[in-house]
Chains A and B, each alone.
Chain A
Amino acid sequence: MSESTPDLSTPRLRHPRLKLAIAAVVWFALYELLEPFSHLLVNALPIAHEGHLAGALQFFLYDTPKVLLLLTGVVFLMGIIHTYISAERTRSLLAGRGLGIGNAMAASLGIVTPFCSCSAVPLFIGFLQAGVPLGVTFSFLIAAPMVNEIALGMLFALFGFRIAALYLAMGLLVAILAGTLIGRLRLEGYLEDWVRELQQKPAVAPGIAQTTSHLDWSDRVGSGLDHVRDVVGKVWPYIVAGVALGAGIHGYVPEDFMASLMGRDAWWAVPAAVVLGVPMYTNAAGVIPIVEALLAKGAALGTVLAFMMSVIALSAPEMLILRKVLKPRLIATFAGIVASGILVVGYVFNIVL
């Protein structure tokens, strides 16, 4: 996907705060109008109002703009947060922290620090080189992709605050516990040798000084807009496709179809969901609409969340990238621990809810 991006040399924004306030009001107004508008639209169409098609269309016409709107809002805010924190800053906050506190900080910072899975390896090494312990580094690496603004924004858009918060808490818990355990196991010997050497002689070349102090609100808003263009520009086709698929399931697949297959009584459903998630590689945006539809048809929440976490946090391509710095045994340990954590989350959700 290499669409030629238009010239982005954004002009200086005047009155950024005022414009931000106006944009917020417009955003809320749009959000409130979505539901009545989608009803109006479906009713105006020459189709049976109570039929499958109307149900599917209603779902699609309401959910697509809703998800896009919420995602745009969340991603924009995250773009602004990114002007306050960079990978370098996070690294210096984590350097020399012990297990426990360090892991909790690393997992939390993983949510807000700009992160792209293609930077996972440089980041991993950069952290180790600066004296961030291995276990703490892993907490960051687990949380950063799993508990990201796209996943949280979409969960919030589709399931509401409670489930988004639960996902956040459980994702952090898995990242913290898995990182702590990896730290306890003292697996430093299973780093590739060249990484160990680097770890012993810290970098002398100065990294880039990402100064954030001179930024004003115009820059921050600009960063938010850039982030929206970047992220929403990339994921919107997944969202539309995902919601369309979800709409199809919503309208046509019978209620409770999934209950026997992925319901809470099927004990094997959670491990199956985790295993199924590993070879699948998609972003949160692509998987969540499907998740919603599965849930609506009686699949158990824990099973579905386990599936989602596994898809996002444990992907085969990422393992291949990490193979450059980790020996197979450490990769296997990492995957095993994270998978077990997700498994526990799945079962706990199924039992508690």
Chain B
Amino acid sequence: MRAKGKNMKNIKVLGSGCSNCRATIERIEQRANELHVDVELEKVEEIQEIMRFNVMSTPGVVVDGVLVHAGGVPKPAQIDQWLR
């Protein structure tokens, strides 16, 4: 576990464990490692929690509390944008 830095981003992936959700997490993790960005990556599978973000298509991605993506595995270019 890395210490939680002040500037560390919190990224939540919303989705009930389908293959696209897993792929989304893997991609973000991989990209964060490549860019040497510290992120706190959370997997949100509880449906009531997911609905708090008003998402209708999963996987959804929430960066620092803001929903930035919904539906489908995000593209690398999008992930880079969130990590920057």
Contacts and interface: CB of A to CB of B under 8 A. Distances in A.
A1 B58 contact: no
B56 A2 contact: no
Contact of A1 (B15, B19, B71): B19
Interface in A174-209: 194, 198, 203, 205-208
B56 A126 contact: yes
Contact of B54 (A2, A8, A114, A126): A126
B51 A198 contact: yes
A192 to B, nearest CB: 10
Given A125-B51, A324-B47, A208 B16 contact: no
A34 B77 CA distance: 38
A208 B75 contact: no
A207 B48 contact: no
Contacts of B68: 208
Given A1-B19, A118-B15, A208-B68, A87 B57 contact: yes
Contacts of B60: 208
Contacts of B51: 122, 125-126, 129, 198, 203
B70 interface: yes
Interface in A1-24: 1-2, 5, 7-9
Nearest to A7: B76
Interface in A301-334: 321, 324-325
A86 B72 CA distance: 12
A278 interface: no
Interface of B: 15-16, 18-23, 26, 47-48, 50-58, 60, 67-73, 75-77
7 contacts: A2-B19, A2-B22, A8-B75, A88-B56, A118-B21, A126-B54, A208-B68
